[in-house]
Structure 1
Amino acid sequence: MRIWQGIFKKRSRRLGWLALAVLSASGLADPVSAGENLVDIAKSIDLLWMLLGGFLVFWMQAGFAMVEAGFTRAKNAVNIIAKNLMDFSVGCPFYFAIGYGIMFGASKAGLFGGSHFLLSGVTDMWDLGFFFFQAMFAATAATIVSGAMAERTNFKAYLFYTVFISALIYPVVGHWIWGGGWLAEKGFLDFAGSTVVHSVGGWAALVGAAFLGPRLGKYTPDGRSKAIPGHNIPLAALGVFILWFGWFGFNGGSTVAATNWNISIVLVTTTLAAAAGTCGALFFSWVRFGKPDVSMALNGSLAGLVSITAPCYDVSAVSSLIIGLLGGILVVAAVEFIDKVLHIDDPVGASSVHLVCGIWGTLALGLFAEPQYGNGVAGLLFGGGLSQLLVQLEGIIAVAVWTIITSSLVFLAAKYLIGLRVSREVELKGLDVPEHGQEAYAGFEIFSNE
């Protein structure tokens, strides 16, 4: 490794002299002019990296759609695809019109932004690229809720909810943490969104599933939970692989600079945590249920990714393995607790993956952060004391209160203005034909297990 580093340094020096020679020949013999040109090149590279990250985060919409469709029944597959398509297509214009300004506009008492609505005043090309990147994140927060509310939600009510999370609920939290708001001033850290994106989506998902009530046939009269298997595990697996790939843009792109060499630690910790989460969920489910449950392992991959999203910039590779492993174990326990104890029916485990592991990842930064990485902070386990951990906990509580209250109001409004849940007859038949007039698998006989 040292030999290659030596060769690289020698070649870099030679390339540097060559670059200056080329610039001289181009009429930029003045070192100041040459330096300005190199700065412009670096900014262009940074912009390209950020845009590439946005492309990858957009591709995650396909991953969510495949995971949710695979983990639910065939008679609802068209509805799942429609929701994942439309929460982006409806949410993006509202984020453009309102949400971005609330999130990144001039701060009003650290609570919300008050400028840049409809991108007014945003003329710099880098800032426009930054909007594009952030719009992809807003879409992710919105689409998390789809899986928890699957198979019994009125499509109109879902579109109604999407407007509010994209325009208000998510952007306010984003301002607190990423837009220079009061939590940022306190030192709360969330590099790529364990709280900003995943916990917000997870809290809204849990609230929405609770408002809806369980699917028909999910619980017996004496309260025992019955499994309702998804119709296509290979499709769900494809979705997880797409999400894993997209997460390299989600976390890595959050550096918003290719010239920031910390990208390397971000991508290493992201990869290791996801792998450890997969192993943790599979082996824990094997011990718990007597079989290596592949659906749990798939959610374990996502659990590891969500868990490392906040601390990926601030922890070591070894710590990322621990964070991911515990996230994978935690998601299995959370799925059982939410289903069998709380009796909240979440068909794809969205609340367990995004909420529970989002909270864990946020706390993990306060435990495992090391000062030689990223933001230069030290967590409890590395000599930093309780200060960072307590700030992280404060942020978790504040975001929980805000999201629970606002999403409850939105779902209540949807319930009384539109109707939150489809009728018993529509649910039994499946939402595809009654709501959309289409079948996902035309020509196949789809049987209900009700």
Structure 2
Amino acid sequence: MNRKVSRSKDQGNFILNSIARIKNVFSPYWLACIPLTAIIVMVWNTAAMAQGFDGPEDLDQVKIVLDSIFLLVCSILVIFMNAGFAMLETGFCRQKNAVNILAKNLIVFAIATMIYWAIGYGFMYGEGNGFIGLQGFFFNGDATPYGDENYPAAIPAPISFLFQVAFAATAATIVSGAVAERIRFDAFLIFSLLLVGISYPITGHWVWNGGWLDELGFSDFAGSTVVHSVGGWAALMGAAILGPRQGKYSSDGKVNAIPGHNMSIATLGCLILWIGWFGFNPGSELAATANVPYIAVTTNLAASAGAVTATATSWAKDGKPDLSMIINGILAGLVGITAGCASVGYFSAVIIGAIAGVLVVFSVAFFDQVLKIDDPVGATSVHLVCGIWGTLAVGIFATDGGLLFGGGINLLFAQIIGILTIGGFTVAFSTAAWYGLQATVGIRVHTEEEVKGLDISEHGMEAYSGFVKEADILAGGFGSSVGEVSSGIEL
């Protein structure tokens, strides 16, 4: 009997010692997680069984839910690119116009969302003909007017709408950079309404909703032409009709550099855009497939190649590695690969990005010095020129149908037709819109307002409160020569 009692005591001591060791190793918070985890697992299993997710027959619905979450995340990444555009444009321009630029980039997404919801989505994806959609205006969540199945047979229609409106807003944001520092705020908003509500969705319908260009064989996976070239053409016409900023070109034809005021936030904007592109391109797969990582890698390779070649080209051309060209080289590579990110090989992606990086350097100089079109951020070079190149590159490098891979000239010919027709339509529409606005509300601020800065003249506030006043006081204390220099910079 004593032996049994002793054995029981030993077992009890062993259990108590074991518990004490566990308590010493794990905190009370960790120990509390054990029953909590058990409860969560039990509730999860019960809920899953209650909802019917208990067998292979539900795998299709699970896939739809996964695709929906994937597209939602990609939509958020693309929407967040608006922050990148805002930072990039603000940094590349002068501090006296920072509020105006930030306001444009912020409100344009709201404007684009409203007009795309009202008419743009219907024009682009509604059932109609090969030229334009004619149903589905004032989107209400029903997928039927767009020829799609409703959830749970397909991903929820609101997810598709959210992803597409993020793309539509990008086209208008591209325009903002090219017309910066002299455009009237109201004129820019009206033009954005027209572009996103009418022009962009019509040409998008031709390509992405079974329109006539799609039937012809034109390929633009994520929008080198549909988004970027459309925005680039509209930006080019706006910058040309507006004319250059005050002080940009001298009477003797000399080109005066107007440096940006904050390259730190411009660099941050570039990095945000680079990250956002992993929603832009992989998200265009429209499903969480095994092809998504492949698209992400081609996207990253092209961006990196563009950065390297733009840096090397500007270094060789101007004798210094220009940060603004590094930034534009990255964006050039990203725009260039957007059309072919799902259809070209890794090595081809590097070539496409590398060529885009070289193109953007010479294109910026060409628009600035030869055509005398003042584009403060290089939007036309990045989005238009490299968008055209990226679209052509599909016809050359696509592993299925590309010229260099035994596909002949058919795909390349279709790409050329698409570039010319979409470009022609956008130029005609944009030109009419810009001249119409010029004849009515006006599109350019007065010279005095431009010199003073759009922050004060258009918005009545400063981005850096007191900065200009304190700078003027400091300049005055050092004599008139410093004041003259200060005034020259403000121009």
Q: Check whether TM > 0.5.
A: yes
Once residues 47 and 91 of structure 1 are traced to their aligned partners in structure 2, the CA distance between those partners, rounded to angstroms, is 22
| Unaligned stretches of 5+ residues in structure 1 | 1-21, 371-376
Q: Please tell me whether residue 63 in structure 1 is matched to residue 76 in structure 2.
A: no
Name the larger-Rg structure. 2
Aligned pairs (5 A) from 1:3-14: none
Q: Report the Cα distance in structure 1 between the residues aligned to 2:466 and 2:50, rounded to whole angstroms.
A: 69
The AA in structure 1 aligned to 2:181 is E
Q: What does 1:70-149 correspond to in 2, within 5 Å? A: 70-108=91-129, 110-120=130-140, 122=142, 124-125=150-151, 126-149=156-179
Assess if the C-alpha contact under 8 Å between 1:252 and 1:266 holds in 2: yes
CA–CA separation in structure 2 for the residues paired with 1:378 and 1:199: 23
- 1:229 corresponds in structure 2 to 259
Give the equivalent residue in structure 1 for 2:438: 415
Aligned 8 A contact 1:97 1:117 in 2: yes
| Deviation by residue 1:351-408 (Cα, 9 ceiling, x = unmatched) | 00000000000000111000xxxxxx22001111111001000000001110000011
Residues 230-260 of structure 1: per-residue CA shift (max 9 Å, x gap): 00001100000000000000001111111x1
Q: CA deviation at 1:122?
A: 1.6
For residues 460 and 410 of structure 2, the distance between their equivalents in structure 1, rounded to whole angstroms, comes to 56
Cα distance per residue 1:117-140 (max 9 Å; x no partner): 011572535221100100000010
Which residue does 2:197 correspond to in 1?
A: 167
- CA apart distance, 1:91: 1.5
Tell me if structure 2 keeps the 8 A contact 1:88–1:139.
yes
1:336 equivalent to 2:365? Answer yes
Equivalent position to 1:352, from 377, 381, 386: 381
Give the equivalent residue in structure 2 for 1:439. 462
Which of 237, 255, 270 matches 2:285? 255
Partner residue of 1:17? none
Contact 2:141 2:157 in 1 (8 A): no
Contact 2:434 2:443 in 1 (8 A): yes
Tell me how many residue pairs correspond in the alignment. 418
Partner residue of 2:356 out of 312, 324, 327: 327
* Corresponding letter in the other structure for 1:257: A
- Which amino acid letter does the alignment assign opposite residue 428 of structure 2? I
Give the CA deviation at 1:26: 4.6
- Percent identical residues: 53
Q: 2:269 aligns with which of 239, 249, 270?
A: 239
1:77 counterpart SS class: helix
Alignment correspondent of 1:199? 229
Name the CA distance, whole Å, in 1 between partners of 2:141 and 2:52.
Answer: 36
1:66-90 alpha-carbon deviations (Å, 9 max, x no partner): 0000000000000000110111111
Cα shift at 1:279: 0.5
Conservation of the 8 A alpha-carbon contact between 2:93 and 2:259: yes
State the 1:220 CA deviation.
1.1
C-alpha contact 1:28 1:34 (8 A) present in aligned 2: no
Which letter does structure 1 place at the counterpart of 2:295? V
Give the ranges of 4+ consecutive aligned residues of structure 1 lying more than 3 Å apart after TM superposition. Answer: 25-30
Amino acid aligned to 1:344: I
Which residue of the partner structure matches residue 48 of structure 1?
A: 69
Q: What is the rounded CA distance, in whole Å, between the counterparts of 1:274 and 1:425 in structure 2?
A: 40
Between the aligned partners of 2:50 and 2:272, the Cα distance in structure 1 is 47
Deviation at 1:36, TM superposition (A): 2.9
Partner of 1:184: 214
1:299 aligns with 2:320: no
SS in 2 for 1:319: helix
Alignment partners' CA distance in 2, 1:29 and 1:380 = 50
SS in 1 for 2:284: helix
CA contact (8 A) 1:367 1:379 kept: yes
What SS is found at the alignment partner of 2:467? coil
Match of 1:392 among 415, 419, 423: 415
SS in 2 for 1:395: helix
Per-residue CA distance 1:28-58 (angstroms, 9 max, x = gap): 999xx83331110011000110111000000
Deviations 1:272-309 (A, max 9, x none): 00000001110000000000111111000000000000
Give the letter aligned to residue 39 of structure 1. D
Equivalent residues of 2:122, 2:133 under 8 A apart:
yes
Q: Distance in 1 between matches of 2:50 and 2:301?
A: 48
